[in-house]
Amino acid sequence: MKQTFLIRLTGWLLPLLCIACADDQGNYDYRTLNDINIRFAASYEAISREHFSITPQIEATPFNPDAYTYEWKAYDQTGQQKPIVIGTDQNLNTTLSLPQGNYLLAFTVRERTTGIYYQRTASLQVNTPTSLGWLVLCSDNGRTRLDMVSHIKTTDNVYRDLLQGSEPGNWKAPYQIVCDPRMEEPFYLVTGDGCTRLSNNEFLWDESYLIGNEFGNGVYTGGVQHLSTHFPGKIIIDPAGRIYYCNTLMGDGLFGSARSNQFYVSPSAGYNAKNALQIVPAFMMWDRTNRRFVLCAQEFSSLGLDNLRDIPMDELAGIGFPVLNDELFTWPRRTDRMELVALGNTRYDRNQDENGMTYAILGKGSQRFLYGIILGDLYSFANAKYGYAYEKAYHADLSACTDIVSATHFAFSSLKTFLYYSVGRNVYRVNFTDGTPVARLEFTLPEGEEITLLKFYLWEQDDPENRSYDLIVGSRNTTSGESTLRIYDGFDNEGNFLDAVPVEEYGGFADIVDVIYRENIIYQP
């Protein structure tokens, strides 16, 4: 009886042991009778579709290369792909065709006569030339064109028209390129002809990425002019000024139908860009019908309030939301006849409480006024019934600033109380906390250029507190029609760009519409 059991047990275990031996990918020394020793580095980085080689050091007593077979195999660390053989020679010498990602690289040397093998492993990080660097959205005579300055490569590193051959590559009127690191495919392209996500893998596209597939009430076929995303919510504004909201607290979420507003908003949204732990974030927009600020009330149902229509900012205190420093200025009303000139979000943390600042510039005739607002979390864990809606932080009359009525672009600093604006080829800086704010000319671009983009990009993951201070300038040469991208370091000079020289400069673009940085994004569901 015992003998029969042992025979059956051996017959059951033996195949498993064989499988375990064959599939083992650990960094072990499987030695043949000739006592082979193989050495190479523990980790490698490579670029997909470019040359990659490894020359291992193989020692044995004796070693006859023809007595062995060789295999180089890459195992995807996510487990989503089957192992890929990338070489069958003693030395690895290949053009990599692996997708971007992290791999376990296994090199196996097997004795032909006995089948005994030695296997050694290393980590392999594969990037593509487009996996890190500046994404430059251009209007090429109205057509959407996405270029990229690769920071993976140091020469020949500007890639043109990445969407060429795809449907979005033919769309007209580009508006934005946006990154939402909490989406598995994190990039959004916003144009007059459509809005879509783009693949994290070289910005590939298919029809399932269209924004209409993110709506919970059927496929959306309308246009999109603006997209703002700040966890746990996203805002879409269509060309007419209707608002759509998506809650992403429990995942990617789905956009709902248009808000039941009797007004239309401008294509921009304010939110607390520094505080990433909000439950019900306040999204603030400009109601251009009634010339006032409003707050999206989509999540008000979770607070026990009516959520069908969005609420004017000056009514929030009366509903019961705590507000701070409300006496600093009066919220603009329709009778003030103001127009929104610019709206921007920063990580400027005035109170050192992990809350960023939103700025708006309103205009009336030759007058320009700045409003600084800290937008709160509408949900409260404390004793208050609701979380605080806002804190009024700054109000300044900018009307004395040089040519500010002619300003075409504005950028708000996350470092200090500075704003920047452009007129033609000139960039000005204003410290709006001065008694009577005035503008100082920072620098002037070469003759014949005019600025088409001025912004700070708020980095998500790669040193966001420091790199978000870099000033991004896009300009067009009025003679050649070509555009140039310039990056000015803002951290070392603490926002002082007087006579600054760009730390990066690239040419040959079409009209630059928007620029973001493609970071080493780690998907955060």
What would be the CATH architecture of the domain defined by 28-127?
A: Sandwich (2.60)
Domain ranges (residues) in the chain: 28-127, 131-189+398-525, 210-337+373-396
User: What local confidence, expressed as pLDDT, does residue 521 receive?
Assistant: 63
DSSP string over 391-443 = EEEEEEE-TTSTTGGG--EEEE-SSSSEEEEEETTEEEEEETTSSS--EEEEE
DSSP letter for each residue of 262-281? SS-B-S--B--SS----SSB
| Residue length of the chain | 525
The residue type at 475: S
DSSP, res 332: P
By three-state DSSP, how is residue 363 classified?
strand
How many Å apart are CA 45 and CA 35, to the nearest integer? 30
Cα separation of 348 and 415, whole Å? 6
**Residue 377 confidence (pLDDT):** 94
pLDDT tens digits for the chain (525 residues)? 333 333 333 343 333 333 333 344 444 444 444 578 999 999 999 988 789 999 999 988 788 999 999 999 999 987 767 899 999 999 999 988 888 889 999 999 999 999 999 999 999 999 888 888 999 999 999 999 999 999 988 788 999 999 999 999 999 999 999 998 888 888 999 999 999 999 888 888 999 999 999 987 667 888 999 999 998 999 999 999 999 999 888 777 889 889 999 999 999 999 999 998 899 999 999 999 999 999 999 999 989 999 999 999 999 999 999 999 999 999 999 999 999 999 999 999 999 999 999 999 999 999 999 999 999 999 988 878 899 999 999 999 999 999 999 999 999 999 999 999 999 999 999 999 998 999 999 999 999 999 999 999 998 777 767 788 999 999 999 999 999 999 999 988 899 999 999 999 999 999 999 999 998 765 555
Fill in the DSSP letter of residue 57.
Answer: E
Query: Could you tell me if 391 and 384 are in contact, meaning their C-beta atoms sit under 8 angstroms apart?
Result: no
Which residue has 């660097």 as its token pair?
A: 133
* pTM listed for this prediction: 0.82
- Rounded distance between C-alpha atoms, residue 224 and residue 191, angstroms: 7
Q: How far apart are CA 87 and CA 91, in angstroms?
A: 8
Containing 118, the helix (H) or strand (E) segment is strand 117-127
13/8 Cα distance (integer angstroms): 9
